[in-house]
Structure 1
Amino acid sequence: MDDRKERRKWTPAEDIVLISAWLNTSKDHVVGNEQKAIAFWKRIAAYFAASPKLAGLQKRESAHCKQRWGKINEGVCKFVGCYEAATKEKSSGQSENDVMKMAHEMFYNDYKVKFTLEHAWLELRHDYKWCGASSTKG
């Protein structure tokens, strides 16, 4: 018999709380850049665990939060590029839905997987790090 715990998929609600935890912790000017990585992720895990939105759910360890954040950040950064490209190709008469559909198609064509983190992108899209201008390499 295998004693390993079964992996639990992250729900969109958990992702949203994790994003909020990361944004609030990373912008804490009192602690700021002085935070060591271990302490930073422990603070995020504590914020995450304290969320009333996740009452009754099993706790996530700081390593789990860090790993999930890496996947969210990578996926959203890739999608930002696709969304920017789709926005530049937008013609008059096309709606925001048309742009999103095109961005999803571009993502799939580029990465051969569907973009499943739209809920995360919607939370992060207005934060400076994920806004178009700062996501381009230069």
Structure 2
Amino acid sequence: MTSKRSASYSIEEDILFCHVYLDVSQNPIIGINQSGDMFWSRVKTEFDKSNIARTQERPRRSLQSRMSVLLTACSKLRGCINQIENKNPSGASDQDIVDQAKILLTQDANYSKGFKFDHV
């Protein structure tokens, strides 16, 4: 069996996916005590309901991998923001701190092209 690489996620798909992920993970009726398989099945079902998601089928494994990429990048940026905030830059606005954190992030070889997920 050969696997075919799917097209990159669009900005709209990323935004939808993050909303679905948060909705399913924070659903008070289902609760947080759901198994990983059940959680990702619910995420995939909700994601597939959207018109945006109908352009291309996204397997559950693809969704899991994409969320891993998003969470890793956001966590890395958050760490950079913390480093800049700990320096207590005088007179720096929140946007200045984020901009400096993005510059710091580019020092990591994995993020040399910068942070690509401002939309999420």
TM-score by length of 1: 0.73
Q: Number of residues paired by the alignment? A: 115
User: What is the aligned partner in structure 2 of residue 44 from structure 1?
Assistant: 43
Distance 1:56 1:38, change over 3 A: closer
3-state SS of the aligned residue for 1:19? Answer: helix
* 4+ long deviations beyond 6 Å: none
Instruction: Verify the 8 A CA contact 2:47 2:53 in the aligned structure 1.
Output: no
Q: Is structure 2 residue 84 aligned with structure 1 residue 108? A: no
Deviation of the 1:115 alpha carbon: 1.7
2-structure distance, mates of 1:70, 1:6: 17
2-structure distance, mates of 1:28, 1:12: 24
* Gapped regions of structure 1 (runs ≥ 5): 121-138
User: What is the aligned partner in structure 1 of residue 96 from structure 2?
Assistant: 98
3-state SS of the aligned residue for 2:90? Answer: coil
Greater mean deviation of Cα atoms: 71-80 or 27-36: 27-36
By percentage of residues, which structure has more helix? 1
2-structure distance, mates of 1:34, 1:26: 10
3-state SS of the aligned residue for 2:55? Answer: coil
Q: Is structure 2 residue 67 aligned with structure 1 residue 69? A: yes
Instruction: Verify the 8 A CA contact 2:48 2:54 in the aligned structure 1.
Output: no
2-structure distance, mates of 1:21, 1:96: 28
User: What is the aligned partner in structure 2 of residue 33 from structure 1?
Assistant: 32
**Structure 1 residues 52-96: Cα deviation after superposition (integer angstroms, max 9, x where no partner):** 4x164112111111111111111111111112222344321x444
* Gapped regions of structure 2 (runs ≥ 5): none
1-structure distance, mates of 2:53, 2:36: 26
Identity over the aligned pairs, expressed in percent?
23
TM-score by length of 2: 0.82
1-structure distance, mates of 2:21, 2:27: 10
